[in-house]
Chains A and B, each alone.
Chain A
Amino acid sequence: MIDYVSALSIDFGLIVPEITVLVTSFVVMMLACSKKVSSWSSTVTLVGYVLALWFTTRQWGHQGSGFADMVTCDNFGIVFKAIFIVASIIVVFLGHRYLRVKGLHRGEYYALMLVSTLGMMVMANSSDLIVLFLGLEIMSVPLYVMAGMYRRSLESNEAGIKYFFMGAFSTAFLLLGIAFIFGASGTTNLRSIVTDFSYIANSFPVYLYAGVALILIGFGFKVGTVPFHTWVPDVYQGAPTPVTAFFSVAPKAAGFAALLRVFVYGFSEVTILSDVFWVLAVLTMTVGNLLALRQDNVKRMLAYSSISHAGYILVALVVGGADAVAAAIFYLVAYTMFNLGGFGVVTLLETRSGCKSEFNELRGLSKTNPYLTATLALFMFALSGFPPTVGFIGKFYIFSAAMQSGFVWLTVIGVMNSFVSVYYYLRVIKTSFFDEAEGTPVPAVLSPTIIIALVITAVGTLGLGLFPQQLLQLSQAAIFGMP
């Protein structure tokens, strides 16, 4: 008998959070079978997420790899897993009432969300390109369904189909890239690729560069960098708003986890990548911001804004190195907070009947919901990067990492882009505070769940802005555990 358990170093201790999320998704799916208990699904989902978060934090500081070196448990992955879980918890709170109002509150929604989170966690933990691909697929397939969940809305159907086609297309690129890398190196393991890099680069440069380029395109689609961003606005606008909130944060963070792991750790010696990322970052920031200027729909504006934020995070990939990775993680945590907050307010406003989140519908909001409008203003200030919010600190770390490595022009372009973005974020504040509504405005009804979501995100946005030290230390400790 072969002792393959130790030969392949199968160690279930490494994937306890993942198993927790998987089991929870089964339980929720089971609840969804019966009409009587399906309303419990959100509570069970929350319990599962909190348990998974607890198990994840318990892993902090422990390093190890297992499953034939395909799974690596390190602080980098743990921080990202925590980001996914926290974002999911906020989305559960944020979507509860919206889904009930629209008749979408079903166990399947939560089960799909859990499976998608599981995929992200697998992505963040993988040290092998095949496992990375597997995680990406586990993450993406539920997302396609979630985008098209609102079956009676044509826009939602369109979003689902569009996302599916673009996602399938980008996956093909990624897989072909992995195949090229395997052809050049004979392995899909990132650690082996790093060890044998100079041999691979000297023997098969064409396959190596083709593979790296294709993998970059595949992930470029997933995180929505220009020129692979065309699906983002339609999908974000068409999908149910809580789903959009989830899209804009969790899969994006997962995509960046994979990008950082593959390109900052795996292919760090491909020097041309820095220039490629320079172009991508500048394009993504600029195109995202310029197109956001002309939007009349808040959801669509936030979609373009999320493209431009991806551009800021790409700056970290241009710079490379531990400081830039820490800055990127800090920015992703910050972005999770204020972007979910922004989408939370939009979700709340959309529970009013007939609301399509056009800019016009924000008029007179400060008269009917003064506190809500103030919260919205806070998130908009954070998105545009005003101090003392965490948006400012996040941008500061990213651009100071770029400056220290001598990327002066990149920093200048980034800061200029920040200025441009102020226009459309402040337009939200201006419309909701100073414009008079036509007719009597309908107040938005707050529910306890959305209040929880908004309080978490507002406290995060302001608190991490005032006391960023702890989070900065955390993200600096989030290093790759792969020597």
Chain B
Amino acid sequence: MSEYLAVLLFAVAGIGIVLITFGISRLLRPHNPYPEKNVTYECAEETVGPSWIQFNNRFYIFALIFVIFDVEAIFLFPWAVAFGQLGLFALVEVTLFLMILFFGLFYAWKKGVLKWV
């Protein structure tokens, strides 16, 4: 059970630090609300419309394709680090893995997903 005590202490300390910092800033900060503070943040530009708008669903598909390569990178790193010990067999395996992923990209490309009109 003593190992779990550390987890409990960690949780208590984590919550405590958040509460203490918020409490200190509440005591120290000036209190001056005005409506511009509540508008959508657009990098100091004048705000145009609300933030709840419909995004083009191309963003979604782009994000999905991005995830493919994101995950690919995660799997390539350990292979690249241990390349010296792994040898030819692993090279073939990784090539197959990459081909499968590029096949997915090829499919998306042929379906016109990458065309940005």
Pick from B87, B89, B100, B111: contact of A33, CB under 8 Å: B111
- How close is A376's CB to chain B, nearest CB, in angstroms? 40
Determine if B97 is an interface residue (Cβ-Cβ < 8 Å). Answer: no
**Contact at B107–A1, with CB atoms within 8 Å?**
no
Whether the pair B111, A5 counts as a contact (CB closer than 8 A) is no
A199: B residues at CB distance < 8 A: none
How far does the alpha carbon of A5 sit from the alpha carbon of B88 in the complex, in Å?
11
Q: Are B89 and A5 in contact (CB under 8 A)?
A: yes
Number of cross-chain contacts by CB at 8 Å: 19
Of residues 24 through 76 on chain A, the ones whose CB sits less than 8 Å from some CB of chain B are 26, 29-30, 32-34
Which residues of chain B from 82 to 117 have any CB-CB distance to chain A below 8 Å in the complex? 85-87, 89, 100, 103, 106-107, 110-111
A5 and B93 CA atoms in complex are apart in Å by: 12
A2 within 8 A of B: yes
Given A2-B85, A5-B89, check contact A33 B110 (CB 8 Å).
Answer: yes
B103 touches A1 (CB 8 A): no
- The answer on a CB contact under 8 Å between A1 and B110 is no
Q: Decide: B107 and A29 in contact? CB cutoff 8 A.
A: yes
Question: Which of A1, A29, A30, A32 interacts with B87 by CB under 8 Å?
Answer: A1
Which residues 154-192 in A have Cβ within 8 Å of B in the complex?
none
Q: Which residue of A lies closest to B89 (CB)?
A: A5
The size of the chain A interface, using a CB distance under 8 A, is: 10
Residues 18-76 (chain B) with a chain A CB within 8 angstroms? none
Contact residues in B for A33 (Cβ distance below 8 Å): 106-107, 110-111
What is the CB-to-nearest-CB distance from A29 to chain B, in angstroms, rounded to a whole number? 6
Q: Which residues of A contact B100 (CB under 8 A)?
A: 26
State A4–B86 Cα separation when bound (angstroms). 8
The reply to whether B85 and A1 contact each other, CB–CB distance below 8 Å, is: yes
The minimal Cβ–Cβ distance linking A113 to chain B, given in whole angstroms, is 16
Q: Roughly how many angstroms separate A2 CA and B90 CA in the complex, as a whole number? A: 11
Q: How far in angstroms is the closest Cβ of chain B from A5?
A: 6
A1 to B91, CA, bound (A): 14
CA distance A325 to B28 in the complex (A): 72
Bound together, the chains give a CA A3 to CA B105 distance in angstroms of 33
Interface residues of A in 242-262 (CB under 8 A from B): none
Determine how close the nearest CB of chain B comes to the CB of A465; give it in whole angstroms.
44
- Closest CB of chain A to B75's CB: distance in Å? 15
Residue of A nearest to B103 (CB): A26
CA distance A30 to B89 in the complex (A): 27
Residues of A near B103 (CB, < 8 A) are 26, 29-30
CA distance in complex: A277, B71 (Å):
40
Alpha-carbon separation in the docked complex, A26 to B103 (Å): 8
Residues of B within 8 A of A29 (CB): 103, 107
Residue of A nearest to B90 (CB): A4
B87: chain A residues at CB < 8 Å are 1
Kindly state the separation between the CA atoms of A436 and B88 in the bound complex, as whole angstroms: 72
Bound Cα distance from A5 to B91, whole angstroms? 13
Q: How far is the CA of A33 from the CA of B110 in the complex (A)?
A: 6
Point out the residues of chain B lying under 8 angstroms from A4, CB to CB.
Answer: 86
Q: In angstroms, how far is the closest chain B Cβ from the Cβ of A46?
A: 22
Q: How far is the CA of A109 from the CA of B87 in the complex (A)?
A: 38
Q: Determine the distance from Cα of A26 to Cα of B107 in the docked complex, in whole angstroms.
A: 10
CB distance from B114 to the nearest CB of A (A): 13
CB distance from A229 to the nearest CB of B (A): 32
Q: List 8 A-B contacts (CB under 8 A).
A: A2-B86, A5-B89, A26-B103, A29-B103, A30-B107, A33-B106, A33-B107, A33-B110
Q: Given contacts A1-B85, A4-B86, A33-B107, could you give 16 more A-B pairs where the C-beta distance is less than 8 Å? A: A1-B86, A1-B87, A2-B85, A2-B86, A5-B89, A26-B100, A26-B103, A29-B103, A29-B107, A30-B103, A30-B107, A32-B107, A33-B106, A33-B110, A33-B111, A34-B110
A interface residues (Cβ-Cβ under 8 A, vs B): 1-2, 4-5, 26, 29-30, 32-34
Which 9 A-B residue pairings sit nearest by Cβ, starting from the closest? A33-B110, A1-B87, A2-B85, A5-B89, A1-B85, A29-B107, A33-B107, A26-B103, A33-B111
